[in-house]
Amino acid sequence: MSSGERRPRWLREVVFVDGVRTPFGKAGPKGVYAETRADDLVVRVIRELLRRNPSLPADRVDEVAIAATTQVGDQGLTIGRTAALLAGLPKSVPGYAIDRMCAGAMTAVTTTASGIAFGAYDVAIAGGVEHMGRHPMGEGADPNPRFFSEKLVDGSALVMGSTAENLHDRFPHLTRERADAFALASQQKYAKAVANGQIGPELVTVSTRSAEQGWGLATVDEPPRPNTSLEGLATLKTPFRPHGNVTAGNAAGLNDGATGCILAAEEVALELGLDVGMRLVGYGFVGVEPEVMGVGPVPSTERALARTGLTIEDIGLFELNEAFAVQVLAFLDHFGIADDDPRVNPWGGAIAVGHPLASSGVRLMTQLSRQFAERPDVRYGLTAMCVGLGMGATVIWENPNWEGTE
């Protein structure tokens, strides 16, 4: 090839190698991470990824993309770069911060994966963090007054719980009773997965501190409510609307936590002796009416399926973020899937484990990858979530352990 001749370009297969997360905590002064920095949570995740994958030299990491919804304080300052430095990666490894609200980590994955497919990177670390105790969603934000003066959005669009109530209005058959039943099942499935050892191996222990109690160690998720019952759920208040449908029991709470994963070109993963947890098939992001942001995963899934040539019948496992039960129910109804379909969130979801906003996408992916390892009968799975300000996000994955035939 002459010096003036451009190298031919091709797309490469991208694989999810490994994913880990901190235990998720409850936001607030009594939460396990109340006095622990957000960036330290990310550092712990990055270090653990490298520890668990010793055949990956640190200098082969080409990019670190870390998402945070509220990019201030200890989860600001271009946290992908600062966390990479704090984690001890070579100073030659760049990093950046990303924000797509709840789909931040999911976008960190698709963005770096696209770079890998394109040939700009070989290996990347992608993840997210949210310390909602230190930084409530929207802290320091200054929404443009035109949003309301020109009626570009309704005021409820900026209150996620209100958008969930709006979704109940749009689909009145999605009753509070159905939402509560789905929430109870999430708690029960999560508890069973923990008891079976399916949830736990991906957790990274985190040293915590308290001015009053001294040092501690976070080893398990704090949000789950194992004593949940339908009777108890029925008594909960509806904080977003009098006589509404959304409660603290059928929605994810306010949480702190971090996630991270290693992505690589498939041939590079094989060269380095890295595991291949799953293979990226395609993805879709869409915008919807901000007032009913919970419907977002429906069109984003339709887009991802159309772009990949798949149908909903091809999907054998669904990891759907449970920001609100009604959002998942709207998705299931649209695609004709039963509320208790065993393919859906088989290990429970965010209603039980928590939803630290920008970090949650990689939790979904990590769980799907681990489920693929147990299910060689399943070829395709998807991870999907609704996104604040009216968006939906879906990523479709292929199981490398699939034992079927074409």
β-pairing, 315-320 vs 380-387, is parallel
What type of residue is 250? N
Question: 131, 135, 168, 355: which one is catalytic?
Answer: 355
Task: Count the neighbouring beta carbons within 10 Å of the beta carbon of residue 55.
Answer: 11
Residue 293 DSSP class: G
Question: 102, 135, 168, 261: which one is catalytic?
Answer: 102
Block residue for tokens 């508890």:
191
Would residue 261 show up in a list of annotated catalytic residues for this protein? no
What residues contact 203, with CB distance under 8 A and at least 6 apart? 20, 21, 22, 23, 219, 220, 221
Question: 131, 168, 261, 386: which one is catalytic?
Answer: 386
User: Contact 26/256 with Cβ under 8 angstroms?
Assistant: yes
Would residue 355 show up in a list of annotated catalytic residues for this protein? yes
User: Contact 279/14 with Cβ under 8 angstroms?
Assistant: yes
Phi and psi torsions of 264, nearest 5°? -155, 155
Q: What residues does 217 pair with on adjacent strands?
A: 207
Residue 230, token pair as written in the block: 């339908």
Nearest to 308 by CA among 397, 387, 384: 397
- Say how far apart CA 274 and CA 359 lie, in whole Å: 23
Residue 387, token pair as written in the block: 């996104």
Nearest to 113 by CA among 258, 265, 308, 10: 265
Residue 60, token pair as written in the block: 């082969």
What residues contact 163, with CB distance under 8 A and at least 6 apart? 156, 157, 290, 291, 292, 293, 294
Residue 251 DSSP class: B
Residues carrying an active site annotation? 102, 355, 386
